[in-house]
Amino acid sequence: MSSNLSELSGRKGLHQNLFEQLGLLAGETGTPSVEDLEKLANEFLIGKANTFGSASFYDFTRHENKGKKVYVCNGSACMTAGTQEVLIEKLAQHFEASEIGEMCCLGRCHENSAFNLNCTNYSGNAINNIAQIKSDAKQIIDTYHIGHIGTQVLTKDFEGIDLYYQHLQKILSTPVNDLLESVKTSGLRGRGGAGFPTAFKLDSCRNAESETKFIVCNADEGDPGAYSDRYLLEQQTHRVLLGMMIAGYICGAQYGVVYIRGEYPESIETVQREIQHLIDKKLLGENILGTNFSFQCKVIAALGAYICGEETALLSSIEGQRPEVRVRPPYPAQKGLFNKPTVVSNVETFACMPYIIQHGGEAFASIGIGKSTGTKLVSLDGFFNRPGMYEVDMGTPLQMVIEQCGQGFKSPIKAMHIGGPLGGLVPIEKISSLNISFESFQQAGFLLGHASVVCIPTNFPIIKYLEHLFRFTAHESCGKCFPCRIGSTRGYEMLEKAQNSDYKIDRKLLDDLLETLEIGSLCALGGGLPLPVKNALQYFEAELGVYME
């Protein structure tokens, strides 16, 4: 997108944010009016096409959202669990068909039957209390098991703000080079999927020349099956916030943004509340604890777009632009939010940093295996006997996670989709050969990613699941590059036709499509989709063969 638009949006900074204005205008009716979009364009000195283009992109602001009152989760975990058709039937007894929309994903993968009503998420048996929920807006907090194998970096009980921040004065008096060296020594890599070295990002932003810099926490956890970021935001909030402050001190950044997906209303509320607590205790703001370090933190609620999990699309989104992927270089560390140097990292990545700074990089590096240091959160879905959130040392055998943490499966499954929609499709027979590390999964032809687990039961057709992945990509594509935009659509069309007619998929044509997606897409959305499809073609050849020629 145009760097000029970034500058125009940045004129009013974060306090009067163009993106947030779009969401506010959609608040009453579900979509902004044309007149309101024109006024907004004039206020920010941008074209009407820009405000309309942005508003028409997001699930929560596009015209199709108008009049919706309740939203059903259409994520992979709820789909394979088979709960949503019954859920829709029960909701139809209380709402008109036109009032029922869809959201993806609500992060309730541990118990499914998930829906959103009055900006509140519900799941499990909540649908049986829908009349009461409608009458008194009753909020039902979900619970799930939290456990660990090995070191507790992220799941240790929070001891309270005063005790937790008692080391902040020492941190802010430590030379920046020493802190950065600790992060380098730790070997911390991005936990959002890519596994990029965190210290490199921090160092690049620190060395960039600018009076204004930003730290952005990518909390747009859109991978169906993943709810580890939601756990951290809601139950370990200050590990994330302190991690952002440490990153800001290292880089010389004065502003932090926590960009939280709109499908997580409880997370948004929790983080806003805890930020205010820090402000009240003067642990955020100007000259923190009498030092020269000033840091302000703001929550921005997203409006429903999986592509905003890609860091450059996220930055465009905050600026109020249509969230299209940016061509790199330049990278965000040099030219990011409002064209200023910006570090964008995942929730879990920031949450690891306080442990590293307090205990030393060597302590973190001693956990794990090879270049996969530290711990990893793993989300287990409702097909496990004990679904929940588990922190395990990197290198922990996948079989141990399944048996010791999840206590096995409730019903027979044939594959696990690990790492989100772009992650590897792992057949049940490969479980014993994998461990929780970037290298183990990569060497076996899979992807650890977010380490979310979506189970595919034996009675769920693989071709139907692949069609779902293509449809998901087509819906969530930013549209900037044609391999992703068109290729994903051609993909689900082929798979759908093969299931509903005597059409046979030309395997060479499918392979060509996958190659085009893989090498021609601008980002990992289109570029990563071929991985689970190739896994399926390799390990479920017999099942898929009847649809091929």
452 or 18: which leads in pLDDT: 452
CA distances from 450 to 90, 177, 309 (A): 33, 30, 12
What would the two tokens of residue 167 be?
Answer: 């080391």
Q: What is the mean pLDDT of residues 39-68?
A: 88
Distance of CA 229 to the CA centre of its chain: 7
What would the two tokens of residue 7 be?
Answer: 């500058």
Q: Is the Cβ–Cβ distance between 435 and 396 less than 8 Å?
A: yes
Predicted local distance difference test score (pLDDT) of residue 5? 77
pLDDT digits (tens, 9 = 90+) for 342-366: 999 999 999 999 999 999 999 999 9
**DSSP-H helix ranges across 44-100:** 48-55, 76-81, 84-91
What pTM was computed for the model? 0.95
pLDDT at position 335 over 90: yes
Predicted local distance difference test score (pLDDT) of residue 356? 98
- In which band, very low, low, confident or very high, does the pLDDT at 13 lie, cut at 50, 70 and 90? confident
Q: Cis omega before residue 330 (within 30°)?
A: yes
pLDDT digits (tens, 9 = 90+) for 153-193: 999 999 999 999 999 999 999 999 999 999 999 999 999 87
Predicted local distance difference test score (pLDDT) of residue 61? 87
Q: By mean pLDDT, which of 27-36, 41-50, 66-75, 448-457 is the weakest?
A: 27-36
Q: Which positions ≥6 away from 23 have C-beta within 8 Å?
A: 60, 61, 262, 301, 303
Predicted local distance difference test score (pLDDT) of residue 142? 87
Predicted local distance difference test score (pLDDT) of residue 295? 98
Q: What is the mean pLDDT of residues 280-290?
A: 96
Q: Which positions ≥6 away from 501 have C-beta within 8 Å?
A: none
Integer Cα distance of 305 and 323 in angstroms = 8
Integer Cα distance of 56 and 82 in angstroms = 31
pLDDT digits (tens, 9 = 90+) for 391-446: 999 999 999 999 999 999 999 999 999 999 999 999 999 999 999 999 999 999 99
Q: Is the Cβ–Cβ distance between 350 and 229 less than 8 Å?
A: no
pLDDT digits (tens, 9 = 90+) for 175-185: 999 999 999 99
Secondary element (H or E) of residue 150:
none
pLDDT digits (tens, 9 = 90+) for 246-259: 999 999 999 999 99
Q: How much is the mean pLDDT over the chain? A: 94
pLDDT at position 510 over 80: yes
Predicted local distance difference test score (pLDDT) of residue 530? 97
Predicted local distance difference test score (pLDDT) of residue 1? 47
